[in-house]
Structure 1
């Protein structure tokens, strides 16, 4: 059970580059439930502690994440994660939908069936999964606590990509289409979730760490958690981070 001193954060895709960096940077700031399928974040957890070989007695584990192994593409696994989070912490204040699927098709959309065969999984993981997890937390916890949600500033951050906002080379068509759909779903979620006081925003970085530092993307998640905005997509590019936002769900 959370002590209430720190916000309870659930992050999917926790073993990936962004998830691991978030856990490393903010394990002492949040009570983090790190959801991963295979890879685990490089952070202390209930299964692993770090030791300084030069000073074995030093405390190098200032915060531990609670690690949950789950394949969210499998039936019932989303609901299992929701059950575990609420049983352990009794609440959720921040949901970071970071798990994603990405397969590029450099030969093109019509050179064979590879792009078409990958489409269903792209939309299942990048569009349906963020909605399903947020909806289950809403049904199980948020919808009956509108005043509390607003007071605590609870919210959802859907991690998208700059690919969903433009046309880029390299065979990104299907992936980009799924991220564009995710962005628009984020806006619709913001409008509907506002009825029970939960904000929903998206984070759309350029490629990281090659163009945007991973640390910048991590702090983008925190920025959206602390800000009052809802229904907006925060884009992060090498030269000009942009943060459109309002205190009410937006139409566009």
Structure 2
């Protein structure tokens, strides 16, 4: 896909979890389409690398450190982004915690920590952004959820529950905020070959083989495969799309099977 360099011209976006993986790919795609970007994550090292690349390509990028598990930091992120860019009209909530463990092995505190980052952090981000989004005729929010929120998967209960909550939140906000001119959508990726997945596959090579070949459309989904549809969803080309849960998984959920039955 060739990015139209004016597709997001004049738009001002926040992308959380932008230092690597899906968030990095989205930030780069948006910048290539002409948007000014605030890159957010807990640590600044990766953000500075991504920002430097965007600037080298002629784009505009700012870095703001923020922990999505801290509501105060999330609120401050939005206000700082608005001050840096003179407004905010696109918000992408991508940063997430995993917390992989069987439910019986998961403490209540560990459960709450995942919900705090994934659900409460996203809610705080979007609520803080509402005044800015509603002030723009094309204000839009995009939540990066997961197919884990569609069905039960052993060992991912806390994560899956948080993503199910985000799927519901997407449609609720689309219904409530449409009158303010704000569109809210979600992307539900299947397995994506991010740096985190690459590390998991290095530790257990069977993960690489299983996930790579489990979908009808064979081969890994890459971060760019999420970033391109993300660009479409926040652009004027999708101006009548809201409350949509876009599944990007190579057809995995269409065949009602998963690839987590892996040998230890």
Confirm or deny a common fold (TM above 0.5): yes
Residue number in structure 2 paired with 1:167 = 152
CA shift in 2, pair 1:190/1:34, >3 Å: same
Q: Give the alignment partner of residue 191 of structure 2, picking from 186, 207, 228.
A: 207
Residue aligning to 1:24: 28
Does 2:202 match 1:217?
A: no
- Is the contact between residue 44 and residue 64 of structure 1 (CA under 8 Å) also seen in structure 2? no
CA separation in 1, counterparts of 2:170 and 2:53? Answer: 36
Where 2:46 maps in the other structure, the secondary structure is coil
Aligned equivalents of 1:43 and 1:23: distance in 2? 12
1:248 aligned residue: none
Contact 1:98 1:159 in 2 (8 A): yes
Relative to structure 1, the CA distance from residue 42 to residue 66 in structure 2 (aligned partners, 3 Å threshold; closer, same or farther) is: closer
Q: How far apart are the structure 1 equivalents of 2:228 and 2:176?
A: 26
Q: Which residue of 1 aligns with 2:172?
A: 188
1:26 CA drift (Å): 3.3
Residue of 132, 138, 151 corresponding to 1:141: 132
> How big is each residue's C-alpha offset from its partner over 1:17-57, in whole Å with a ceiling of 9 and x where there is no partner?
11122233332321011011115247553xx469xxxxxxx
Q: How has the CA–CA distance of structure 1 residues 42 and 215 changed in structure 2, closer, same or farther, with 3 Å as cutoff? A: farther
Give a deviation string over 1:72-113, Cα, whole Å, max 9, x none: 3235212211221221222212100001110111xx212x4x
Query: d(CA) in 1 for partners of 2:47 and 2:26?
Result: 9
Determine the structure 2 residue equivalent to 1:37.
42
Q: Give the root-mean-square deviation of aligned CA atoms.
A: 2.4
TM-score between both structures, scaled by the size of structure 1:
0.78
* Structure with the bigger percentage of helix: 2
Which 10-residue stretch deviates more, 85-94 or 229-238? 85-94
Residue of structure 2 equivalent to 1:98:
94
SS of corresponding position for 2:32: coil
The whole-number CA distance in structure 1 between the counterparts of 2:221 and 2:9 is 32
Match of 2:242 in 1: 230
Counterparts in 2 of 1:240 and 1:178: CA distance versus 1, 3 Å: closer
Structure 2, unmatched stretches of 5+, are 1-7, 194-211, 213-219, 255-264
Give the CA deviation at 1:240: 7.1
Q: Measured at CA, do residues 5 and 109 of structure 1 come closer, stay the same or move farther in structure 2, by a change above 3 Å?
A: closer
TM-score by length of 2: 0.74
Q: In structure 2, what is the equivalent of residue 250 of structure 1? A: none
Gaps of 5+ in 1: 51-58, 243-252
Aligned residues: 217
Q: Secondary structure at the match of 1:96?
A: strand
CA distance in 1, matches of 2:70, 2:151: 31
In structure 2, C-alpha distance between the alignment counterparts of 1:185 and 1:136, rounded to whole Å: 15
